[in-house]
Structure 1
Amino acid sequence: MFHYRTAVPIAALLVLSHCCHAEDSNSPTEHGDRLAAEYFALETAKLSEATFAEIETLEDWERLRDGYRDELHEMLGLDPMPERTDLHPVVTGTLETDEFVVEKLQFQSMPGLYVTGNLYRPRQVDGALPAVLYVCGHGRQEVDGVSVGNKTHYQHHGEWFARNGYVCLTIDTIQLGEIEGMHHGTYRHDKWWWNNRGYTPAGVEAWNSIRAVDYLQSRGEVDPGRIGVTGRSGGGAYSWWLAALDERIQAAVPVAGITTLQNHVVDGCVEGHCDCMFMVNTYRWDYPMVAALVAPRPLLISNSDKDPIFPLDGVVELHRKVRRIYELYDAESKLGLQITEGPHQDTQELRVHAFRWFNRFLKNDRSLIETVATPYFETGELKVFDELPVDERVTEIHESFVPKVTAEELPQSHSDLKKQSKHWKEALLQKSFRGWPSSTSEALDSKVVAQSQQDGCLVRAIEYTSQSPYRLTMFVVEPSPSESGDDESTSAAEAVDVRILDQQGWDDMAPAWSYLFPEIVVGVKSDAELWQSTSESLSGSATVFVAPRGVGLTQWSTDKKTRTHLRRRFMLLGQTAASMQIYDVRRGLQAIDAIDGVGGTRNLIGRGDAAVWALYASLFEDRIAELELTDLPARNRDAPDLLNVSRSVELPHVVSMAADRASGVILRAADDDIAQWQSVDFPDLGGKIRLIKK
């Protein structure tokens, strides 16, 4: 069965992580965790308030609806839509009772993407029947250690439909099916590159469901104009995807499969869900938008009142918002909200309401339900394959489902690079960095909060607002005016070194900052010698040290599980942690302009993740002189995740764009890594890209 955690509000969750991991009340991450909780609450509220803000009339909705549906296709990895290839359906066996027949079948939703299922139909069929696609939740079933598919766990639903005059196709999901794919990429397996690719297993489940409807419509005993969909938990989510995308669905009953961003992000429900429950939220939707795409077709939103991962308040709020759209159609009678008592379980009360809904809208039958849903077979009897097909792609479909660019697709001429760069930058802004605030959203409000003169240097700690509630601190080191002989310590014509710090870079420097500013950098043992060696190693011009959110003074929890779900909260908001850290670097570069005596161009210096932040920030800020990037990954797959980035560019594309805008890019890498960069066929930029072995 699907295992879930009780939903925990993010603020309580982050405090709890400290207790569980022996971090006392003076933990250096406590401040960062509080800021993260506040940030997520603010961003969630913005997206919630924006839902249907453009909709006043039915004309407004119908004018925008197709565009919204196109966006959902894209966010599920279905733009462009895969080719509808031959399904190659195969029935591998049948089971019979006095009332119904079960066909054990498989089809290919695309070549090699096998879908296993059981098709239930009445024993006697007179004329075309209504049909229901039942999409399964997470219900593992094994016989002798071999998966027989979650369809066998939910067999009683298909059997009830067949006993009551329906054809019902119950299909396995890619995880927990007979061929076991993966739903837990970011949840459990650190496959953050799924975000780079714009991939979610929700898209595969949606596609398999669309092709399942194709199959149902090919069956002679099915009335193609009377098809419904239902499922619970994960199947509830897939019911939403299918009903929103495919208007062939004439009635839908998603059970315990959707709630609000407030529940997921702020109240902590994301922790109970794998990746199949979420689209890649490029367009920054709250979930009522998905639900509204079903209107005005019959929709019953079904849930229990004690479900910890689909809480009652969120389900009710979602219904309230979607009701607005049904009211525009004067179709309130086609929207239902069913709340029964109980936890996150497949209860009889939930089933009966779903059965009545389909009877009402697919059979025009309002009679009482007299039969219960009862399983008839041992789960192993419903297994489709004796041996799994050798050409299956289910287990690796995340590698190919969404198209991507390759590093080899680089323009060779400077003129072609110029043309492509404009397109790439626009794609990045629209698909990867859409979650950035507008440039005029908040003032920087830069302020010197402390300064110190040590060893011939003037050092200033400067706070600035990147994005509420984040007030970040940069450290500016420059020769003291008395040492330089000028009123201004740095000439406006000189290039300023801007060192972007990741957490390791901060940890390396923190003892020096603690020596200079013990009231700001607390809980770190100061080191005067480190400061002295640092000051001696700096260039004669100003050096600025920038640490984005989640680093240094705003560091997040170091607990792996907590950090995983923090990153997942970002992605639910149509952002990633890395995309917002890049934004913070941009804001830091803008804040430098407000620092007295520090002007001119900027050399950006970063290592590892910080090299990626610096590289992308350089595309969107002017007066970049040179980039010095150490240990920059050569491929998106190894870099911090940015939504959809691999659909537009690979890192060599970004390096080319940056080098064209700057005076040059230096890539420093170890022997094992530099070979990847040496294999890149960069466009001719007059030697502006240099590779140096560390």
Structure 2
Amino acid sequence: MKNRPKNNPFASENRNSRREFCKKSALASGAALFPFSVASEKYLVSQFTIPYKSKNMISKSSKSIIGPYGPWLADHRKDPGELSFRHATYSNVKSWKNEVLPKVQSYIGRPDIDATPAVRVTATYQYDGLDVEELEWSWPYGHPTKAILLKPQGAHKPLPAVLGLHDHGGNKYFGCRKIIKNGDQHPMMTSHQERYYEGRAWANELAKRGYVVLVHDVFTFASRRVRYHEMGPIPWGDVSTKGRSDDNPESQKNIDLYNDWASAHEHVMAKSLFCGGTTWPGMFLLEDQVALGILAERPEVDEARIGCAGLSGGGLRTNYLGGLDHRIKCAVSVGFMSTWDDFMLHKSYTHTWMTYIPLLPKLMEFPEILALRAPLPTMSMSTNDDQLYTLPEMKKAVTILEDVFTKADASDKLSCRFYPGPHKFDAVMQQDAFDWFDRWL
């Protein structure tokens, strides 16, 4: 076993559409994105008598998803924020990161858990030219994590590795199975991969290219999901009595019933996490960092050559993990790059509660979370017709990324690309992402 680095932590798709999922979830983010403390009457006067002048060129008559409050709220944040590397205060990227990273981590509120989980191998076999291991590890809370490790058949020498981060897709019943294939595939996962990945299990394709790839179920998905019968009473959404017609938990009807309930439960989980002093990104960061540590300790993995990638919810997780854990030497964020203004004024209803960090938007723009990894190699991939964002704000986010990497004298370490079509990570995009990993890992 390798020596653990000192900084190693552990210190939709439903049956209708992603749009329908978002409508059901009612994932409004207003409370999370409108935080300020009232310290005195003087503060109140200064905050509520500001002159109206929009830094975003949004007129008083412009419509937002929160009505006439949108333009004012957009002005409430300064750009660049005080933790932004674009701010005149900062000139040296290393000293900036040393100062800013602890502050960002404090806002994210990642739970402080020190133990290292014992990893159990529950099955080994070969599939499609790959060696496959089914893994499991336990936590002080919730059910054990299940994961799949894929590697070239017979691989022994240290290889580059990638932590594959599965998407959200409005489907919490499934996790790692969304981006892998290891035998008989559930019909819902076949359609999921056809819709978002051009029918490809991209984790398998990357492993065939010579990488060790680990994909794990993350907090509230699949093996880590909330079981209805284990909860205290909530006076709505009793999935135990909503028409289950058979005893097969993996029938599409029963999975749809669960996903409908889980989408409606998402705001409850988010509020409880806030009350517990953490956030959903904090929970993701904890569990993804633990999986990263498990991958780094594998004897066939070169721990100096590890990357991460994911689409949509996996892109969100890439932004946080890649930005805050520099053991990730190359990061590819797919289908999750825009601005806080885009979420606040236009698109928060299309996004999960898993996106938001209270207070942080006042200090830095959303793409600057991923930019915390500068000058390490970074790729952002977006699509022109992605229904989850507005194109102008996606392009603004890319400009912010480019400004940070240019100021860090690392323009060659950043690649931001746009592709035709809707929300996806298709074969062409996968090829470009894999080429980027080849270049840097």
TM-score (norm 2): 0.68
Distance 1:74 1:116 in 2: 28
Distance 1:35 1:158 in 2: 37
Residue equivalent to 1:63? 95
1:224 CA drift (Å): 0.4
Distance 2:341 2:437 in 1: 30
Cα contact 2:130–2:208 (8 A) shared by 1: yes
Residue equivalent to 2:375? 296
Q: After the TM superposition, which residues 99-248 of structure 1 pair with which residues of structure 2 at under 5 Å, given as runs?
A: 99-108=129-138, 110=140, 114-139=144-169, 147=173, 149-155=174-180, 156-181=201-226, 188-189=267-268, 192-248=271-327
Deviations 1:92-122 (A, max 9, x none): 1123135211111112355656322110011
Distance 2:18 2:96 in 1: 36
Residue equivalent to 2:126? 96
1:360 CA drift (Å): 1.0
Deviations 1:245-271 (A, max 9, x none): 10100000010123101210111x110
Distance 2:269 2:294 in 1: 35
Residue 38 (str. 1) matches residue 48 (str. 2): no
1:39 CA drift (Å): 2.7
Residue equivalent to 1:272? 350
Cα contact 2:169–2:313 (8 A) shared by 1: no
- Considering only CA atoms, is the larger Rg found in Structure 1 or Structure 2? 1
Deviations 1:410-460 (A, max 9, x none): xxxxxxxxxxxxxxxxxxxxxxxxxxxxxxxxxxxxxxxxxxxxxxxxxxx
Going from structure 1 to structure 2, the CA distance change for 1:272 and 1:214 (only over 3 Å counts) comes to: same
Work out which of the residue numbers 306, 317, 321 in structure 1 matches 2:400.
321
Q: After the TM superposition, which residues 644-663 of structure 1 pair with which residues of structure 2 at under 5 Å, given as runs?
A: none
Distance 2:64 2:123 in 1: 57
Cα contact 1:85–1:110 (8 A) shared by 2: no
Task: State the AA in 1 paired with 2:129.
Answer: E
Distance 1:275 1:189 in 2: 10
Residue equivalent to 2:105? 73
Going from structure 1 to structure 2, the CA distance change for 1:4 and 1:72 (only over 3 Å counts) comes to: farther
Going from structure 1 to structure 2, the CA distance change for 1:177 and 1:140 (only over 3 Å counts) comes to: farther
Identity %: 23
Cα contact 2:121–2:136 (8 A) shared by 1: yes
Deviations 1:305-336 (A, max 9, x none): 11111332222211111212211222101111
Deviations 1:127-179 (A, max 9, x none): 1000000111024779xxxx4x3211211122112211100001112233123
Please report the RMSD computed on the Cα atoms of aligned residues, expressed in angstroms: 3.0
Task: State the AA in 2 paired with 1:77.
Answer: G
Cα contact 2:18–2:170 (8 A) shared by 1: no
Residue equivalent to 1:441? none
Q: Choose between structure 1 and 2: higher strand proportion.
A: 1
Distance 2:288 2:162 in 1: 11
Residue 337 (str. 1) matches residue 416 (str. 2): yes
Residue equivalent to 2:237? none
Distance 1:127 1:289 in 2: 36
Q: After the TM superposition, which residues 11-30 of structure 1 pair with which residues of structure 2 at under 5 Å, given as runs?
A: none
Task: State the AA in 1 paired with 2:329.
Answer: Q
Distance 1:175 1:191 in 2: 11
Give the 3-state SS of the residue equivalent to 1:136 in structure 2: coil
Going from structure 1 to structure 2, the CA distance change for 1:67 and 1:114 (only over 3 Å counts) comes to: farther
Structure 2 residue ranges without an equivalent (≥5): 1-11, 29-60, 181-200, 228-261
Deviations 1:551-608 (A, max 9, x none): xxxxxxxxxxxxxxxxxxxxxxxxxxxxxxxxxxxxxxxxxxxxxxxxxxxxxxxxxx
Going from structure 1 to structure 2, the CA distance change for 1:98 and 1:283 (only over 3 Å counts) comes to: closer
Cα contact 1:200–1:279 (8 A) shared by 2: yes
Deviations 1:31-68 (A, max 9, x none): 9x999533332222442523338633863543332332
Give the 3-state SS of the residue equivalent to 2:137 in structure 1: strand
Distance 2:117 2:65 in 1: 51
Deviations 1:493-519 (A, max 9, x none): xxxxxxxxxxxxxxxxxxxxxxxxxxx
Aligned residue pairs total 332
1:294 CA drift (Å): 1.5
Going from structure 1 to structure 2, the CA distance change for 1:65 and 1:38 (only over 3 Å counts) comes to: farther
Cα contact 1:338–1:353 (8 A) shared by 2: no
Task: State the AA in 2 paired with 1:129.
Answer: L
Residue equivalent to 2:384? 305
1:90 CA drift (Å): 0.9
Give the 3-state SS of the residue equivalent to 1:152 in structure 2: helix
Cα contact 1:130–1:226 (8 A) shared by 2: yes
TM-score (norm 1): 0.44
Task: State the AA in 2 paired with 1:72.
Answer: V
Cα contact 2:108–2:279 (8 A) shared by 1: yes
Task: State the AA in 1 paired with 2:298.
Answer: R
Task: State the AA in 2 paired with 1:258.
Answer: M
